[in-house]
Amino acid sequence: MADNSSVEIVEGCRLPVLRKNQEHEDEWPLAEILSVKEVSSRKLFYVHYIDFNKRLDEWVTADRLDMKKLQFPKKEAKTPTKNGLPGSRPSSPEREVVTTAPSRGKTLPTPVQVDFFNSKNDERLLWVTTDFVIVCQRFVGSFHGKSVNRQVAAKVHESNVGIVHNQDSQDSSDGIPTAPRMTGSLVSDRSHDDIITRMKNIECIELGRHRLKPWYFSPYPQELTSLPILYLCEFCLKYLKSLKCLQRHLTKCNLRHPPGNEIYRKGTISFFEIDGRKNKSYSQNLCLLAKCFLDHKTLYYDTDPFLFYVMTEYDSKGFHIVGYFSKEKESTEDYNVACILTLPPYQRRGYGKLLIEFSYELSKVEGKTGTPEKPLSDLGLLSYRSYWSQTILEILMDLKPDNGERPQITINEISEITSVKKEDVISTLQYLNLINYYKGQYILTLSEEIVDGHERAMQKRHLRIDPKCLHFTPKDWSKRGKW
C-alpha cells in the first residue's frame, strides 16, 4: 500500500478496504468513503462496502485502506432536462427504486384457458367450480420422475393466472410501488437517502439488560449521537445521555410495561395495544429505536393514524420489550402491518413468526384478510415467506375426506381461514414451486421433501399464538371522526 499521507482521500472515493469475513479471514472488498473525520489527531474513514449489507458499514483507520487502487469520484454529468426544466439528480444504483413489477429476466405467466382434465385416470382429480379449486388426496407414485406422497390438483381460472407471481427473484415478491406511499409509522422514501442518513450515527444503545449495536441511521437529537452509549428507559423508551440521568429517571418513571391495553397474555408473553395518538411520545420513541434496525424505512413523526402492538416478556422486574408491529387504523390497501421488528437480542428464536401470526389473528377477529406493507426488509421478507409457507402447507396437509368424498378447498377458503390475502396465498404456492402443468392442467404437487421439511420446521416452532388468550375488540375507526 502507498503512503496514505501523500494523497487526500475525499468523500465519494472508492478503494479496497481490509475487513474480516465470517471465517475471520482477511478480504479486501471495494468500499466507498462516505465521510472523513479526525479524532485525537488520527483520521477515520466511514466506509460502505459495495454490494454488502449496509449494516456492515463502519469507521476504519487509514492502515486498512489499499491506496494503490484508489478511485476518485467521477464528476456528475449535467442533469438532463425535460420540457426545458432541469431534471432530478441521477441516483446511484443502490438508490434506484424499482418501478416494474415483473422479476428481472422473467415474464409473468401468460393467461391460459384450462379445459377439464379428460383422461382414463380422471377419477384421481375432481373439478368443482371454475374458481381455483384444490383437491387433496393421498397418492404414492411418480410425478415427473419425482417421488411424491401427496398430490393436489388445481384448476386455474383465467382471471387468476395473471396474478401468479414468479418468486425466483426476491424483488418480485416485494411488490414495490412506482412511488413511495407517505403512510406508515416508518415509510419508504428514498429521497432522504443522502450521505447523512447512509451513516450509522449511534455507537451503542443500552436498553434494560441489553446493549445494542445499531445497524442504521436514526434521527435521534444530534447532541446525543456523539456519546459512546445512548441510554433508553426500557419501559417508556425515553432517551437519556448518561447512566446517572437514566437512574434518576427510573426513580420517577412508574411504567413497568408499555402504555396501553394488554390484549394478550400466555405464559410470559404479552401483547400491548398502543394508540399512536393517545401515547404519542412513546410511539415516536419506539419509531426512533426501530429505525436503528430498519434501513428501508424513513421516520414518520405523525403517529396519530397508527396502532402499535408491542410484544413483551414478563419477569419480576416488569414487561420487557421483545418486538412490535404497527398498523394503520384505516387501510384502503388491506395492510395489516405497516412496520414489524424483532429486536436483535430476540432474533432467531421464533418471535418474528409470533408477531406475524398475531397480526393475522387480529385480522381474523376483524373479519378481514391482510397483507404487510411493501417493501419488506430483508429479514421481514424471509419471515413472511416462511410463515405463509408453513401456514398454507399446514392446511393442505390436514385436509381429510368428507363422507367418503375427496377433500376440497379453494384459494378463497384458504384466505378466509388464515386471513392471508389471496394474492399472497397464490404467490406462496408459486414460490414453493408447487404448481405444475400436467396433461393440460395446473396441479399442485407436494413432494416427500416438502412434506418432511414442513414437519421438521413445525416441530421446531414451539411459540404459537393461542386465540383463546386474545382479548381484543376491533374498533370502527371510520365512525370515530378524528383519531
Which element (helix H / strand E) includes 355?
A: helix 351-366
Question: Cα(232)–Cα(252) distance, rounded to whole angstroms?
Answer: 14
DSSP β-ladder status, 441-447 and 146-155: antiparallel
Residues found in the chain: 483
Give bridge partners of residue 225 from the DSSP assignment: none
Residue in the block written with cell 385436509: 399
459 in helix, strand or coil?
helix
Sign (positive/negative) of CA torsion 21, 25, 29, 32?
positive
Question: Cα(147)–Cα(140) distance, rounded to whole angstroms?
Answer: 8
Would you give the DSSP letter of residue 22? T
Would you give the DSSP letter of residue 55? G
Buried b (16+ CB within 10 A) or exposed e, 235-263: bbbbbbeeeeebeeeeeeeebebbbbeeb
Residue in the block written with cell 466507498: 32
Catalytic site positions: 373
Contact 366/353 with Cβ under 8 angstroms?
no
**What distance, in Å, lies between the first and last C-alpha atoms of the chain?**
61
Grid cell listed for 375: 417493501
∠333-334-338 over CA atoms, to 5°? 85
172 in helix, strand or coil?
helix
228 in helix, strand or coil?
coil
Q: Tell me if the bond preceding 375 is cis, omega within 30° of 0.
A: yes
Q: In what order do the strands lie in the sheet with 306-315?
A: 261-266, 269-275, 306-315, 318-328, 339-342
Count of CB atoms situated within 10 Å of the CB of 476? 9
Amino acid identity at 410: T
